[in-house]
Chain A
Amino acid sequence: MKKVSYRNQILTLFGCTFTFLLLFSTSLYAQEGEAETAAVEEQAADASGGDAAKGKQLFNQNCAACHALNRKMTGPALANVEARLAEEEGLDKEWLYSWIKNSAGMISSGDAYAVRIYNEYNQAAMTAFPTLSNADIDDILAYTAAPPPAPAAATAAAQTTDGATGDTGISNELILGALVVVFALLVMMLILVNNTLRKIAEANGVVLEKAKAEKRMPLWKAFAKNQFLVLVSSIFLLLAAAYFAYGWFMQVGIDQGYAPIQPIHYSHKIHAGDNKIECKYCHSSARVSKHSGIPSLNVCMNCHKSIYEYTGNPEGPSAEDLAKGYTNEFYTAEIKKLYKAVGWDEENQRYTGESQPVEWVRIHNLPDLAYFNHAQHVTVGEIECQTCHGPVEEMEIMYQYAPLTMGWCIECHRDTNIKVEDNGYYEKIHEALSKKYGVDKLTAAQMGGLECGKCHY
């Protein structure tokens, strides 16, 4: 599970070459799907008198947290809701207007269907939207009435991706093949030229001085005879060996770059990068505790109750992602793993109570003898998480960015100024210490941050 950095470098090298090749082989594809969707939406808008495009926007702003078009979430699926209600329950648009604007009122007034739906969905009260006008609701309904374009788009996307992966694969092989052929031709040409020249030389009577060459002392013998050279080079070799041995030994136990495979492929890139979720939203205990804490699964479910599938970023998965198999289906499958672990029944939108705690592989393993407190650094020092953990928002797979050695800690303590502003604790101490050291800014070291017992007890 552990990667040694040297091996890593080789991998990176391979990776680079591969990407380089890929760059030359990608072809461009037109995004025909989008135009298609737009056309469908326009059509729908004409049918119901609302603006489906505007409706989509409103739907995403107000409704999407609890409703989807084609599946139950916290609330029911809303595709064709207007028509469905009219057909099945005989309820008109007016009912919908009042329900959306004040659902609680309708439940308390004892409206039969309102009470039924309220009970059916675990008595989760729907937020009242008094700010939505009837026209807005029309727009939303227009959007829900439109034949769901999502599956079509998805298939299209899937097709595109399939095509893309297939194409790149073939073109890669082609190019490689072509290169091989070209090189083979070159080699053959050289051999031919050599042969031809030899023949010409023989024909011209030039004698190759093989015998003469044999009489000369071989290089290794000359080298072996020169004792000084032997001494110097063996010293050099020994030093070099020692250097590398030292380098190797010094990385024993240092897991910089350690990127274990996790039971759930959790992408920090998607969460912290694409979606810009604040680190401490999930790692909340970093604010108050020595541990940053791996978020419990209920924290995941805060969002993933409604985010049940991965639809990718607007540009769609990049070729690089696809090459690694990070397709939308892949991520969606990972979300399902979360559901399994937390025991979430997607169908009925409730917890089954059968949970299987996730056994994450711990990446940052500080030895027990070292005391590190996240709160001290995050809350008091207001240090960015990235200072020690690196560009987490770019990490598809989380890895250990810093070496986490004592030297690395100390270096930072020597260089980093303490954030004393607006902290009542530091007022007096800062004043006194600044006077003592004759500086305005104080480093952690000047505050005693290098003392053994501050981290080892």
Chain B
Amino acid sequence: MASNKIYWKSEAELNPNDSIIETLRQNEFPEDIPVDEFLGDKEGLSSGNTNRRDFLKYVGFSTAAATMAACEGPVRKSIPYVVQPERIVPGVANYYATTIANGFDFASILIKTREGRPIKVENNKDAKTLGSANARIQASVLSLYDSTRLQGPTANGESIEWDALDGAAKTKFASLQASGGQIAFLTQTYASPSTNRLMADFKEKFGNVNHVTYDAISEEAAVKAYETLYGSRALADYDFSKAELIVSFGADFLADWQGGGYDSGYARGRVPAEGKMSRHIQFESNMSLTGANADKRVPLTPAEQKKALASLYGKLNGSTVSTDLKDSIKEAVDQAAEQIRNAGAKAVVVTGLNDLDAQKLVLSINKMLNSEAFDATSPRYIRQGNSEALAALIQDMKAGNVGALIMDGVNPMFTLPNAEEFAEAVGKVDMTVAFSTNQNETTEICQYVAASNHYLESWGDVEMKKGHYSLTQPAIRELFDTRQFQQAVLNWMDSEQSYYEYIKDTWSTTILGDSSWDKALHDGVYSLSGDMAASSEQENPEVAASMEDMTASVQRLARTAGAEMELILYSKVGMGDGQQAGNPWLQEFPDPITRVSWDNYLTISRADADKLGFVNENVANGGLDGSYATVTVNGVRLNKVPVIIQPGQAPGTIGMALGFGRRVGMKPEMMTGVNAFKLYNGFNNIQSVQLEKSSGMHEFACIQLHKTLMGRGDIIKETTLEIFNTRDHAEWNPVPKVSLDHQEVPATSVDLWDSFDRSIGHHFNMSIDLNACTGCGACVIACHAENNVPVVGKREVRRSRDMHWLRIDRYYSSEDTFTEDVEKKEGLSGAIESKVGFGEMEQAAANPQVAFQPVMCQHCNHAPCETVCPVAATSHSRQGQNHMAYNRCVGTRYCANNCPYKVRRFNWFLYNNNDEFDYHMNNDLGKMVINPDVTVRSRGVIEKCSLCIQMTQKTILDAKKEGREIRDGEFQTACSNACSSGAIVFGDINDKESQVAKLKESDRMYHLLESVGTQPNVFYHVKVRNTEEA
């Protein structure tokens, strides 16, 4: 009996006119196998002289040959030195102190070299200022081995010899000298005593010389404010460790604000000690790294920031400043003013507004407070850009007054909004020379391109801060036929001196006094003693007078008219001003806030996004997609800018990162993002903007798709300073309870396994203080460099196949605070309420609390991964490290599935020697950065954090060789070494006197997912927020 029933698979099928169903029915396998492509050409097939039998023969022979070849080991050659340099012992690392000063990043660092190759950047702990490397500086060692680097000078695109370039330059300069024509230098900020002297010498020799400095990302307002109040072009310095109250108006001081490097001082004040920690109030528009760390964050537009600052000044000054601020902001300002008054000299106010009035106001507030954290006597010199001089230079060039233009460390064609005008001006200059390590937008339009040295191949000196000098020394000889700018200038001056001798000369005559040059070079830093630095400081007589004149500034600020939509341009900790855009480590580095890699984008508040129709969605393959926007600023239009909905973004504002969108001289993989410098009019990071939606969706490579904690307070434990100070730790740091024999018992008391005896020898533990961690990500890159972690590319990151051994999770609260999240979750009852409630909790709040949590392998004493490995490739050591034997791993990935922390990474592909992954591990040059002490993993194995076992083993061996016990602090990992904020502390807890052993005994200590009973060797410290209002 036949049935007439029609079976349907989905409701859509019931609609007979559904086009999709029809297509599917007709075309079940939409992708045809392209048979025609290789069988269609009948003629070619028949005339080809490889028949099937031949083919089989070839296959047979090649298989046999490959098999035979595999049995015979290759002959390896070993080529020793002819004359071995005294200091190089193969297999032993050497460290050299040097300094990076690339115009954007300035820091004194140590370079680790192996067999003469620089492979890692470390912090220089001797440096009194700017001695720590951020993510970009950590990654800069890879830029040395960039395969796209210029390998020699060129003229109009043709390779030439340096002599030819020198000859042409000298002839030109001589003729200009005779005719009185102008020689112009357009350079980065050097802050270098020797380069300054060199420029002066050059001027003296050739007469009409114009040296213009500009910073791609300008701090000019702050420089000018300092200049008007203190008389020199510099930036006031701050020591946040001395501040008990930090009020910031849009200053992203944990990232790159005024040269950065403030995070270590800040973090010191953030760790609660003796019941006290600093309080941090942030008024800002974009959700910045600094705002994410603040105790109280007030989102507001730039115009409101200015008004709020003016009103704060009024409150502190006792004058009345009338503004049209919203009540909520007014209240926040009132509270801040109250707290500042209470804190007195322990308070400090900073601003990132690129506005002369605002900067002057902040300086005078700090002066008025007599703030201890504020240091105007020894300012920073690391931003010297002068936009007026630049504009004048461009006019000069256009007028044909400039005979020769020499550029170094700058890429105006990329970083200037008026690049077309600049190009036109360059066309009017007879001779243009651009010094650059890579091809870029500017070298394209220059006559001569002088291949310049990487900083690790160069000599140099910097005075980053008054009285604090640093030296740059080469860690490797020039890899290519390159020359550093200063050396070339010396040659053009017909000087016999090398730049090294020139620096030595400068130092011995003006800086060192009686101190030793060798010691300064060894240390990399040299600071004048306190009184010498102070004695040279002259109080500017105008200061007092200009202080009086603040009323005008206040009035101007209070009357700021905001635009309907304001754009705030910022720099990412992973990209900076875009100099290292070709660096795959940095491209793959996920932004600490959005967790998106390989991109820049517009950040927009949810309210505005809803209004304008922008969406973010997670699609079926797990990737994040976002709408495109068209951005127009002052007539300049950027098309197809992807949009990210950013919790905490002030409504009425959007943010966009500078430094992306480079296109020239890069591998195609690195050409990511959109160039926001096109919108950077007048070096002002705040622009009025029009925004509209455009079609299409952008595919992001976002590492963390789930934004909120869903009220799981045991992952990031939080409390307030008040509770922390007044109540027992069992209340704010409770041990999770589990059920044993139907009794609720502490999770730590239940144990299924026998334990190793770890009381003998070393037992490594790592402590991560969530209060000190700012989420800067220097550790992520340090781990990358130390452990040969591969770069997988945007496509693979989108598939969640990123290989970072160490990630920094970022969580938003879905209510206003995490505590309220927990309360909400606890309060949910019943299926429907839970469904709705949890659904709501997936959305972050409009101005959420943010928490960062670095997560690496937790090295569980009872590791779930170990028990499921069928081949015992991962096993436990007595020293507390969870070992991973790559050569034993067969790639079942059971361990990764059984890991509650999701820290194991699988090598889906062979990332080295693979043309599909054209980053750095597939060319000889890029491979030079590989750490020879760590295996380069192959396809099909799991890898993960080893707690830098190569470093702990080395420390142990060093002690054994010297026959001594290991001192506290000797045990380090790449991340703990890189952490300048002191959030990551590593050591041996069997040494009861060690710092880490003491940290383990702290009340704030807890383990991640303690209830699982894995007993990790990594522990965290409860985050304490100072939420007390005055």
Verify if A422 is at the interface (C-beta below 8 Å from B).
yes
Verify if A221 is at the interface (C-beta below 8 Å from B).
no
Contact of B83 among A2, A297, A373 (CB under 8 A): A297
Chain B residues with a Cβ under 8 A of chain A: 71-73, 75-84, 89-92, 757, 759-761, 873, 875, 877-879, 881, 883-888, 933-936, 946, 949-950, 953, 956-957, 959-966
5 A-B pairs whose Cβ atoms sit less than 8 Å apart in the complex = A359-B79, A361-B75, A362-B78, A379-B961, A433-B761
Interface centre among B80, B92, B885, B961 (most CB of A within 10 A): B80
A residues 420-457 in Cβ contact with B at 8 Å: 422-429, 432-433, 436, 447-448, 451-454, 456-457
A residues 126-145 in Cβ contact with B at 8 Å: none
Q: Given contact pairs A362-B76, A423-B960, A433-B761, enumerate 9 new A-B contacts (beta carbons under 8 Å).
A: A285-B91, A293-B91, A342-B82, A357-B80, A371-B950, A376-B960, A433-B760, A448-B879, A452-B885
Residues of B contacting A297 with CB < 8 Å? Answer: 80-83
Contact of A454 among B73, B78, B79, B953 (CB under 8 A): B953
B79 contacts A424, C-beta separation under 8 Å: no
Verify if A289 is at the interface (C-beta below 8 Å from B).
yes
Main secondary structure of the interface of B (DSSP, over half): loop
Contact of B78 among A290, A355, A361, A433 (CB under 8 A): A361
Chain A residues with a Cβ under 8 A of chain B: 1-2, 252-253, 255, 260, 285, 288-291, 293-299, 341-343, 355, 357-362, 365, 367-369, 371, 373, 375-376, 379-380, 422-429, 432-433, 436, 447-448, 451-454, 456-457
A296 contacts B76, C-beta separation under 8 Å: no
Shortest distance from the beta carbon of A67 to any chain B beta carbon, whole Å:
25
Main secondary structure of the interface of A (DSSP, over half): loop
A295 contacts B80, C-beta separation under 8 Å: yes
Residues of A contacting B80 with CB < 8 Å? Answer: 293-297, 357-358, 360
A425 contacts B878, C-beta separation under 8 Å: no
| Complex CA–CA separation, A424 to B960 (angstroms) | 8
Whether A448 touches B759, Cβ cut-off 8 Å, given contacts A342-B82, A360-B77, is: no
| Complex CA–CA separation, A302 to B759 (angstroms) | 50
| Complex CA–CA separation, A296 to B886 (angstroms) | 34
B875 contacts A451, C-beta separation under 8 Å: yes
Residues of B contacting A359 with CB < 8 Å? Answer: 77-79
Closest A residue by C-beta to B959: A425
Contact of A252 among B71, B84, B965, B966 (CB under 8 A): B71
| Complex CA–CA separation, A169 to B885 (angstroms) | 57
B79 contacts A357, C-beta separation under 8 Å: yes
Closest B residue by C-beta to A341: B82
| Complex CA–CA separation, A425 to B946 (angstroms) | 23
A291 contacts B961, C-beta separation under 8 Å: no
Closest B residue by C-beta to A249: B71
A288 contacts B92, C-beta separation under 8 Å: yes
Contact of B949 among A355, A369, A453 (CB under 8 A): A453
A291 contacts B91, C-beta separation under 8 Å: yes
Contact of B82 among A2, A296, A452 (CB under 8 A): A296
Residues of A contacting B885 with CB < 8 Å? Answer: 452-453, 456
Closest A residue by C-beta to B882: A453
| Complex CA–CA separation, A454 to B83 (angstroms) | 34
Residues of A contacting B757 with CB < 8 Å? Answer: 436
Nearest 7 CB-CB pairings of A with B? A453-B883, A289-B91, A296-B84, A296-B81, A291-B91, A362-B76, A362-B78
Interface centre among A365, A427, A452 (most CB of B within 10 A): A452
Closest B residue by C-beta to A255: B73
B77 contacts A453, C-beta separation under 8 Å: no
Whether A380 touches B883, Cβ cut-off 8 Å, given contacts A294-B78, A298-B82, is: no
Residues of B contacting A424 with CB < 8 Å? Answer: 963-965
B878 contacts A432, C-beta separation under 8 Å: no
Contact of A380 among B878, B957, B965 (CB under 8 A): B957
Closest A residue by C-beta to B966: A425
Contact of A369 among B81, B90, B886, B946 (CB under 8 A): B886
A448 contacts B75, C-beta separation under 8 Å: no
| Complex CA–CA separation, A384 to B626 (angstroms) | 66
A299 contacts B84, C-beta separation under 8 Å: yes
Closest B residue by C-beta to A370: B887
Closest A residue by C-beta to B879: A448
A429 contacts B89, C-beta separation under 8 Å: no
Residues of A contacting B887 with CB < 8 Å? Answer: 367, 369, 456
Whether A360 touches B78, Cβ cut-off 8 Å, given contacts A255-B73, A433-B760, A452-B875, is: yes
| Complex CA–CA separation, A252 to B71 (angstroms) | 6
Shortest distance from the beta carbon of B490 to any chain A beta carbon, whole Å:
27
Whether A452 touches B89, Cβ cut-off 8 Å, given contacts A376-B960, A422-B963, is: no
Shortest distance from the beta carbon of B408 to any chain A beta carbon, whole Å:
35
Residues of B contacting A422 with CB < 8 Å? Answer: 963
Whether A429 touches B90, Cβ cut-off 8 Å, given contacts A341-B82, A452-B888, is: no
A451 contacts B883, C-beta separation under 8 Å: yes
Shortest distance from the beta carbon of A455 to any chain B beta carbon, whole Å:
9
Shortest distance from the beta carbon of A444 to any chain B beta carbon, whole Å:
12
B89 contacts A453, C-beta separation under 8 Å: no
